[in-house]
Structure 1
């Protein structure tokens, strides 16, 4: 939990507020490096064939949002156990190489936190590179789209052996999100989860409003590549192309309405444009 409960005391000394108007919550966003992925061929991330044979380096981020009412971890990266593998991991049959320069738990420890201290847990979706450390945070309240949770614990997912990283969440305290509306995590409009299905059945994005730096929109895997947003590129393995394109439209509208900076989560330049850990965006 954040130690900064007296909101007016957390404001900048140069910040003034109208009489009778409360100071905005002291929301801080930390960008954690939770893995690097080198793709030798990103062709599957585009269904029009235009990127076949193209190599690309990705970052795999985690985001910690610290709010006076609690801490939210958004995405947890690839399994931190990869950090202990000499040379990283090269999944059999996949055109990629994964490395973890520093464990997620070590970065949290630098902020004085252990996994059990995280109050809320949410993922843009349940793929390996976003939910890889989920089991470490089973004591948190898991906020998840109902369709995403159903797919994650479906018979098909069990048969494919996909539950290893997040099996402990099956019986965790869970808030299931349904419908097209946003979920207000802390009840004050500063941190909201928005549905953006298509990549997976219940893919979501996170809007964070900070007092000084303004709004930031963390978009999960809505856009994998730096070209994906401008060209509206859709991966060949998405669950629904139609839903993906509609989600892109809705998220663009959300970004415009909120004035948010859009973060394409796997794009290195978007990640490095945020304050380098352990400094927060606030």
Structure 2
């Protein structure tokens, strides 16, 4: 199995969202990451990043949310172009796993018409609430015609221990990570926004956009346990880590 790290966009946000004691005026640039997992039984895409239109008209897609989460993406900083750069089209993807339904993690779902979408049952429930848009769940991103499967606990996608979905609620109700086991490179936990930055994990800091701080802290404790067992944790928006990763055509195997 091979794992490709792909850009799903780039954002500028207030640092205090993630590190509450930071100066409210300080801004940080954040990567948005997606992962292509090339398993012998099918191609899995973990998260689909920002919709391409946000690179030139974020407010048209996201409304007022674009002022708090400002895209600064380049023209090809979207998962569709990233896949094309390594010889894949959306039709080559068999499974899309959405860690959660915020717009920077499911924005390109619409392109993967031949895939089955997998998410946590509680995430789908939250996204369907009447007030869901106030919490960052935009139907234009997640409500698509493809088949959707939900999980309510751990799910071994191919029943071989290679890609195991692990619920880590807190950032959202149905936040889900993926524990990926590779032959040469070892284990990686794709934490997404369960842990946005290393600071959050090491200092047990819950970002201000956390849905449930108590559940988030419990999930971070579980992630620290997984890390202590030898897995590399890949954070949701840690630019320092992003700069060190193999990306695009390079891969982990």
Aligned to 2:97: 122
User: How far has the Cα of 1:228 moved from its partner?
Assistant: 1.2
Distance 1:218 1:65 in 2: 11
Query: Which of 186, 194, 201 is 1:222 aligned to?
Result: 194
Aligned to 1:50: 21
Aligned to 1:34: 8
Q: Secondary structure at the match of 1:278?
A: coil
Quick one: structure 1 residues 50 and 158, their matched pair in 2 at CA, closer, same or farther if it must change by over 3 Å?
Answer: closer
User: How far has the Cα of 1:92 moved from its partner?
Assistant: 4.1
Please tell me whether Structure 1 or Structure 2 has the larger radius of gyration of its CA atoms.
1
Aligned to 2:243: 272
Distance 1:177 1:90 in 2: 27
Q: Does the 8 Å CA contact 1:216/1:262 hold for their aligned counterparts?
A: yes
Quick one: structure 1 residues 240 and 158, their matched pair in 2 at CA, closer, same or farther if it must change by over 3 Å?
Answer: closer
User: How far has the Cα of 1:264 moved from its partner?
Assistant: 1.0
Distance 2:232 2:45 in 1: 19
Aligned to 1:12: none
User: How far has the Cα of 1:61 moved from its partner?
Assistant: 1.1
Q: TM-score, normalised by structure 2?
A: 0.89
Q: Does the 8 Å CA contact 1:89/1:97 hold for their aligned counterparts?
A: no
Query: Which of 173, 183, 189 is 2:161 aligned to?
Result: 189
Gaps of 5+ in 2: none
Q: Does the 8 Å CA contact 2:55/2:71 hold for their aligned counterparts?
A: no
> What is the CA deviation profile of residues 196-253 of structure 1, one whole-angstrom value per residue up to 9, with x for unaligned ones?
0011000011111111111111111122234211111112232211100000111211
The answer to whether 1:155 aligns with 2:130 is: yes
Size of the aligned set, in residue pairs, is: 247
The answer to whether 1:177 aligns with 2:151 is: yes
Quick one: structure 1 residues 162 and 95, their matched pair in 2 at CA, closer, same or farther if it must change by over 3 Å?
Answer: closer
Q: Does the 8 Å CA contact 1:115/1:136 hold for their aligned counterparts?
A: yes
Q: Does the 8 Å CA contact 2:167/2:175 hold for their aligned counterparts?
A: yes
Query: Which of 63, 77, 99 is 2:35 aligned to?
Result: 63
Distance 1:197 1:52 in 2: 28
Q: Does the 8 Å CA contact 1:120/1:142 hold for their aligned counterparts?
A: yes
Q: Does the 8 Å CA contact 2:86/2:248 hold for their aligned counterparts?
A: no
Aligned to 2:73: 100
Q: Does the 8 Å CA contact 1:205/1:220 hold for their aligned counterparts?
A: yes
Q: Does the 8 Å CA contact 1:213/1:281 hold for their aligned counterparts?
A: yes
Q: TM-score, normalised by structure 1?
A: 0.80
Aligned to 1:254: 226
Higher helix share: 2
User: How far has the Cα of 1:112 moved from its partner?
Assistant: 2.5
